[in-house]
């Protein structure tokens, strides 16, 4: 799959990261560019890390499934050294190089990508799902397992029913949605990445959860795969 490289990854400081985010914010589109009835293929993306000889390494997994049957159609991955330390609010600069390397190996092109992380639900509306969406030119969705509090805005816990949700409002704008995908389990936090609206994000996420997990099947499978990759590569020499 072709990736549209809208910037390089030579930035090293928080000021440079912020400048890039601010330059891209005007390109974010949280209106719908996807027909839910015509979705055939979707992808889940996740990354696992490990430390070796005081260096950080990562493995990115992209798992592509049939939207209706949930059958796995393709799995691709990338593995490499992580050169950017974790800095809150700037995760994309740490993860995107590996993500884009993996995505370029895809032969079964997805209609939508789902990320284990936030999108518009971010201090600068530039979570990993949103930032990546600008490179991918595809609808992207962020699905996080924990809540990122923005401007001290709490969320209202959804009712204890499958499909119950509450919108997360920050500065009178909908940043995301707390969603109860299973009864008696914690909610997940769904937000737009790019080229999609919050209602479509919700519908897609709910369609992709199963009795085995509160998170969508593609990201659950990608998470499992990253652990397999980490176990495989953590003892090998990676440049």
Q: Point out the annotated binding site for Mg(2+).
A: 46, 116
Q: What is the dihedral of CA 197, 198, 199, 200, to 10 degrees?
A: 50
Contacts of 19 (CB under 8 A, 6+ apart): none
Residues tagged in the binding site annotation = 46, 116
Three-class SS of residue 42? strand
Instruction: Convert 122-150 into a string of H (helix), E (strand) and C (coil).
Output: CCCCCCHHHHHHHHHCCCEEEEECCCCCE
Residue 63 zone, left/alpha/beta (φ > 0; ψ -120 to 50; rest): beta
Residue 135 zone, left/alpha/beta (φ > 0; ψ -120 to 50; rest): alpha
């Amino acid at each position: 799959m072709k990736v549209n490289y809208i910037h390089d990854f030579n930035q090293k400081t928080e000021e440079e990261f912020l400048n890039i985010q601010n330059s891209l914010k005007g390109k974010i589109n949280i209106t719908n560019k996807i027909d839910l009835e015509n979705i055939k293929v979707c992808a889940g993306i996740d990354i696992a890390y490990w430390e070796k000889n005081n260096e950080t390494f990562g493995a990115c997994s992209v798992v592509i499934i049939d939207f209706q049957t949930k059958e796995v159609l393709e799995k691709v991955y990338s593995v490499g050294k992580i050169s950017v330390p974790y800095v809150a609010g700037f995760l994309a600069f740490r993860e995107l190089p590996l993500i884009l390397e993996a995505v370029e190996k895809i032969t079964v092109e997805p209609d939508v990508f789902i990320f284990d992380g936030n999108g518009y639900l971010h201090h600068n509306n530039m979570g990993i799902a949103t930032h990546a969406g600008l490179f991918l030119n595809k609808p992207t969705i962020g699905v996080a397992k924990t809540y990122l509090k923005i401007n001290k805005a709490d969320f209202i816990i959804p009712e204890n029913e499958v499909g119950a949700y509450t919108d997360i409002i920050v500065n009178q704008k909908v940043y995301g949605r707390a969603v109860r995908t299973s009864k008696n389990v914690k909610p997940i936090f769904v937000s737009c990445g790019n080229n999609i609206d919050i209602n479509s994000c919700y519908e897609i996420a709910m369609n992709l959860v199963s009795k085995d997990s509160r998170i969508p099947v593609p990201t659950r499978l990608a998470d499992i795969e990253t652990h397999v990759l980490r176990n495989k590569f953590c003892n090998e020499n990676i440049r």
